[in-house]
Amino acid sequence: MTDHIATDVVIGGGGIAGSTAAIALSKAGVQVMLVEPTLRSDKRYGGEILHPKGLANLAELGLNLSALGADIDGFHVWEDQAGDVKLPYAASAQGPGLAIQHARLHAALFAEASQCSNVTVVRGMKVIGMVDHPNCIDVMVAGKCGRMSVRARLLVGADGSRSQIRKLAGFVCRRESLSMVSMATVPSSALPDSDCAHLFVDGERIAFAYPIDGMRARVMVDHASGTAPSPQEIIDLLPAACPTSIRKALCNQREDQGLRRFLTSLVSVDHACCGHTVLVGDASGTCHPLTASGMTAATSDALSLAKAIAEMPDDLGIAATSHAARRKSRQLTRLALATLLHEIYTDSTPRSTALRRAMMSDWGSVAGQVHGISLLSMTEDRPHQLLRSMTRILYRGLAHLHTPAAPLGLAGEFLAGVRASKTVFRYGTALLTNSYRLLGGNGRDTA
């Protein structure tokens, strides 16, 4: 039997993006149906950090979740040859961020959404189809308990990086696999700093570590797809810059504790809105988790969509189109930054080594520190500011080139320096161009 009901907005997926969108839309007076297939939230992984912007987004909705996690003050980046540099949020006049377990944040937001007066939660079902009309959209929802057809003014796809709603609606999408990440939980005392997210790199490998509460921390190790290292084998995959304390903590991992693993991918769409369907959170694009920007981006999407609908309540399709246009540059900057960093951090060639050390040098300066943390935390999300920051780093990279071992004379050294400078600059420019090309969405959804 098929039931027919009506609502303003159907949200497919009750994760962080979907639940936050439901809360924001409810507060704007919109009637919402939140469809959640009840997937286990502890199977959803990523950088479990809310940057200050993400916390501000939740505060705007009247939510204070600081007690559920641990305060965090930016990034501490370690490179095996260039040393380490701190990028505190305070450098760009931001307050603390929050490190929080994904499952905890999801549970809190879903519970809050379930209590909103304008939100109807449908559990154990998922969106299986839709028919777009000039002024509305018919959404087909099904599960073990039956099927129903919902007529809505807007469908919001919030069902993750492998979004079925995105596929069903025919969004143009590109997916590129990047790597596999193995994740372990260790005592927070193993971290060099208890209040920072740590990024360890050496030109071949990346490790990301951060506290999730007062006692525990996550360690995520990037490695090639298709491998499944044990807790002991993962130690050999740690970057040289990773400290002994983390290595010892991983050594103490019991074999039965195992490691959680997930694939990382670069997923981008041409446009986050198509007809009366709009994508938010990971459904609208994902990147490598080394910038820990996913949860902040999800909350930003939710608020942006709610504000667009509040401005244009009579036509939610146009409101969604406006939201998609506004968030496009923010998403482009976020995905391009993560793509650039992953490329530079995992390439051991001299040109990448020069750029990596130039970046460390730039982030060690006052101006570089401000630019670096602003981009990483999404406080600065304009593409031209990423280009400006990378141009600074490209010029600094010229000073970090390998000096020839054999004496060439003044003229010879000058010519060698010019050739090397061209190589680094061309490579850096190619990285930027390739990052933006990858985000251009020239392929179709293969999720």
Query: For residue 270, what pLDDT is reported?
Result: 83
Query: For residue 1, what pLDDT is reported?
Result: 43
CATH of region 175-264, choose from 3.40.50.2300, 3.30.360.10, 3.30.9.30, 3.10.20.30: 3.30.9.30
Higher pLDDT, 399 or 80: 80
* CATH 3.50.50.60 location in the chain: 2-72+93-174+266-326
* CATH 3.30.9.30 location in the chain: 175-264
- Checking phi first, is residue 285 left (phi over 0); if not, alpha (psi -120 to 50) or beta? left
Query: Could you give the maximum distance between any two Cα atoms of the chain, in Å?
Result: 86
What burial class does residue 41 get, using C-beta atoms within 10 Å of its C-beta: 0-12 exposed, 13-18 middle, 19+ buried? middle
pLDDT in tens, 14-30: 999 999 999 999 999 99
Local confidence band at 391 (pLDDT 50, 70, 90 cut-offs): confident
Query: For residue 339, what pLDDT is reported?
Result: 87
Q: Which stretch of DSSP H or E encloses residue 143?
A: strand 137-143
372 closest CA partner among 398, 390, 354: 390
The mean pLDDT value for 328-338 works out to 90
What burial class does residue 433 get, using C-beta atoms within 10 Å of its C-beta: 0-12 exposed, 13-18 middle, 19+ buried? exposed
d(CA 226, CA 70): 33
Query: For residue 442, what pLDDT is reported?
Result: 37
Query: For residue 225, what pLDDT is reported?
Result: 77
Instruction: Please determine, for residue 245, whether its predicted confidence score (pLDDT) is greater than 80.
Output: yes
Instruction: Please determine, for residue 303, whether its predicted confidence score (pLDDT) is greater than 80.
Output: yes
The mean pLDDT value for 298-313 works out to 96
Q: Fold for domain 2-72+93-174+266-326?
A: FAD/NAD(P)-binding domain (3.50.50)
Q: What percent of the chain has pLDDT over 70?
A: 85
Local confidence band at 39 (pLDDT 50, 70, 90 cut-offs): low
**pTM, entire model:** 0.89
Query: For residue 229, what pLDDT is reported?
Result: 79
- Report the 10 Å Cβ neighbour count for 352: 20
> Mean pLDDT lowest for which of 243-257, 327-341, 358-372, 394-408?
394-408
